[in-house]
Amino acid sequence: MTQPDTGARESGGREQGSRAAWDAGPLAGHTESGPGHPQQAGRTAGGPHADEAGDLPPGQYVPRTLPVLHYGPVPAFNSQTWDLRIFGATESGEEALLSWDDIGELPAAEVTADFHCVTKFTVPGLRWSGVLAADLLCAFPPAATVTHVMTWADFGYSANVRIGDFAAEDTILATHCDGEPLTPEHGFPLRLIVPSLYAWKSVKWVRAIEYMTVDRRGFWEERGYHNVADPWREQRYSYQEVDGDGPPL
């Protein structure tokens, strides 16, 4: 896979769109800070299972703490050089490049949701603060033909999700967890949280958002993990896929 130029560093007039454009269609209703970045009060959204105490997906258990799992090193962060690239099939045909200050100016929100890992743990009721993915879509609209979003991290890690999962009301680009800034090990400064899917889709250290008109597998999806990753259907591995779940391996 070709890695986009996200500006990863190993050392150290927006148009408002309608959210209905991404909530409609066959994907609708699908179920599965850094220094100087203020924690702002915002509206709260919740996933379909956020308030169901003890209701876990099949095969999951509740650990004592939120484990740290990731592939590759923890990147360094510099608020003066960090940026977030939005590219691919944008509505305008142009790319956007957001600074860390730009992220702080986007509408702030909070989501309380369970966190499901494919390694079989679930941490219930985590409170994530940041920018709703749906608000990012409104600020930087994709083309009408977009079906999937690839989220890219430092060092080339990536994960693909359907546009309906990315636009869900509880999908958030998080800067904080439970009122505290994310730690570097948990994705500081910016982490995508997709509560409806297994957590490898919740990319740490986000550096780019790619709008796609054709599905393409991300890092773990190319290495045997399920392309969709719905924990309520135990979609863990690619051998479980049926027609329509993803492109050929």
DSSP 71-132: SSPPPP--TTT-EEEEEESBSSS--EEEEHHHHHHSPPEEEEEEEE-TTSBEEEEEEEEEEE
Could you tell me the CATH number of the domain that includes residue 198?
3.90.420.10
Sign for the CA dihedral angle at 122, 103, 138, 247 comes to negative
Query: According to the model, what pLDDT value does residue 54 have?
Result: 57
Does any domain span residue 245?
Answer: no
Query: According to the model, what pLDDT value does residue 130 have?
Result: 98
Query: According to the model, what pLDDT value does residue 103 have?
Result: 97
Beta carbons of 92 and 100 less than 8 angstroms apart? no
Q: Supply the range of the domain harboring residue 167.
A: 79-240
Query: According to the model, what pLDDT value does residue 238 have?
Result: 97
- Rounded to whole angstroms, how far apart are CA atoms 186 and 37? 17
Does any domain span residue 179?
Answer: yes
Query: According to the model, what pLDDT value does residue 72 have?
Result: 76
Beta carbons of 136 and 173 less than 8 angstroms apart? yes
- Rounded to whole angstroms, how far apart are CA atoms 235 and 212? 22
- Rounded to whole angstroms, how far apart are CA atoms 43 and 80? 28
Query: According to the model, what pLDDT value does residue 119 have?
Result: 93
Widest CA span in the chain: 47
Does any domain span residue 215?
Answer: yes
Q: How many domains does the chain have?
A: 1
Does any domain span residue 104?
Answer: yes
Does any domain span residue 131?
Answer: yes
Query: According to the model, what pLDDT value does residue 66 have?
Result: 78
- Rounded to whole angstroms, how far apart are CA atoms 86 and 35? 23
> Which of the 8 DSSP states describes residue 249?
-
Contacts of 34 (CB under 8 A, 6+ apart): 77, 79, 82, 100, 175, 181, 188, 189
**What tens digit of pLDDT does each residue of 91-103 get?**
999 999 999 999 9
Does any domain span residue 7?
Answer: no
Element (H, E) at 143: none
How many other CB atoms are there within 10 angstroms of residue 37's CB atom? 18
Query: According to the model, what pLDDT value does residue 208 have?
Result: 98
Query: According to the model, what pLDDT value does residue 61 have?
Result: 95
- Rounded to whole angstroms, how far apart are CA atoms 124 and 147? 30
Beta carbons of 181 and 36 less than 8 angstroms apart? no
Helices (H), the chain: 20-23, 100-105, 133-139, 163-166
Does any domain span residue 64?
Answer: no
The angle subtended at Cα 112 by Cα 106 and Cα 115, nearest 5°, is 110
Query: According to the model, what pLDDT value does residue 37 have?
Result: 28
Cis? peptide before 35, omega within 30° of 0:
no
Query: Left, alpha or beta for 216 (phi > 0: left; psi -120 to 50: alpha)?
Result: beta
Query: According to the model, what pLDDT value does residue 48 have?
Result: 42
Low-confidence ranges of the chain (pLDDT < 50): 1-53
Does any domain span residue 60?
Answer: no
Query: According to the model, what pLDDT value does residue 69 have?
Result: 76
